[in-house]
Structure 1
Amino acid sequence: MSMRCLLVDDSARFLEAARALLERGGVQVVGVATTGAEAFARAVELAPDVALVDIDLDGENGFEVAGRLAGSVPAVILISTHSLEDFQELVAASSARGFLHKSALSVRAIRELLGP
């Protein structure tokens, strides 16, 4: 099954690397965004199946961005270079499907979080 993904991160370098990694694994990265406003516009325009949202967006709260995206994207996954332990309660209380450390990002890990 094909998956359409929106990447939301303030690091151009990470966006480029994540796009390449996911596309090699068969995920269609339909768009990228570096801010919450850009993410919302892309989500409405591109209708992705999943959005990967950095917890630490430059000057923005990734949890809030994820919460707002949850209304228009079927699944939101939070990502970060911080460990899950740093944000476990916030992740659990969020509308996100789950959390992935950026170093563990893979198509398989995304599919495992999304379930059947």
Structure 2
Amino acid sequence: MTSVLIVDDQPLHRLGLRILLESVPETQVAGEAGTGSEAVRRTAELRPDVVLMDIRMPGMDGIEATRQIVASGNRSRVLVLTTFDLDEYAHAALRAGASGFLLKDARPEELLGGIRAVAAGDAIIAPGLTRRLLDAYAGQLPRTAPDGRSPDDAKVRLLTDREREILIAIATGWTNPEIAERLHLSESTVKTHVGRVLAKIGARDRIQAVIYAYDIGLASPNPRLP
């Protein structure tokens, strides 16, 4: 059973999400919040497995709420929901520590699958959003990390050629099945490589790996695998 805190400033949206989550036996609605500050407080009180977080809310927005929830050390993981016209918030939300990013027009099964994945410790980004987001905002992303490291970062040098290839593929927005197909590997082999890449670069999940690859300049708006 996965417990979920629904955070949205629109009561009708919260009701719709509650009805969906309560329609399946594997999810349980732990509670609701209508503002970012309430989300932080309710997360601390209820300690849900997943916080389903809206971004645009009065007062504290979902980005700051996510940042505070993650910084608190709470085990709850944040899955952000937004609309297509809010792509500019995605990078900030992921940097704040969100474990996933889905669009509000996602099909019910996609949302439920995203909740399960995030609760299990995986990361999820709306299909196609990684590529679209990074193409649109790559010019705003630093070509070096905040501490001035170059693309020849020490962590990158720990990667084998294949692992470096996998990291670039992750940054491109490819899923494991897509990586397997395009690099002619089995999905189990890809999963193993992804796990090793995350461990070597110190990334919690593939979302952090995407940000890391762009931060150090390993990936670009139109990356090419070596």
Give the TM bin, normalised by the shorter chain: 0.7 to 0.9
Tell me which of the two structures has the higher relative contact order, counting C-alpha pairs closer than 8 angstroms and 6 or more residues apart.
1
Contact 1:83 1:101 in 2 (8 A): no
Shift of 1:35: 1.2
Residue 75 and residue 85 in structure 1: after superposition, are their counterparts in 2 closer, same or farther (change >3 A)?
same
Cα deviation per residue 1:65-107 (whole Å; 9 max; x = unaligned)?
1111222242011111235743342233220001011121521
1:8 aligns with 2:7: yes
Give 1 or 2: higher helix fraction. 2
1:23 aligns with 2:22: yes
1:57 is aligned to 57
2:77 is aligned to 75
Which 5+ residue runs of structure 2 have no aligned equivalent?
124-226
2:105 is aligned to 103
Residue 36 and residue 92 in structure 1: after superposition, are their counterparts in 2 closer, same or farther (change >3 A)?
closer
Size of the aligned set, in residue pairs, is 115
Where do 1:89-100 residues align within 5 Å?
A: 89-100=91-102
In the alignment, the residues of structure 1 paired with residue 122 and residue 78 of structure 2 have an alpha-carbon distance, to the nearest angstrom, of: 13
Give 1 or 2: higher strand fraction. 1
Cα deviation per residue 1:5-56 (whole Å; 9 max; x = unaligned)?
1011100000000011111123101100001222122112211011011111
1:115 aligns with 2:157: no
Task: Name the Cα RMSD after superposition.
Answer: 2.1
Q: Give aligned-pair identity as a percent.
A: 34
In the alignment, the residues of structure 2 paired with residue 73 and residue 35 of structure 1 have an alpha-carbon distance, to the nearest angstrom, of: 20
Q: Equivalent residue of 2:81, what SS? A: strand
Which 5+ residue runs of structure 1 have no aligned equivalent?
none
**Larger Rg, first or second structure (1 or 2):** 2
TM-score by length of 2: 0.46
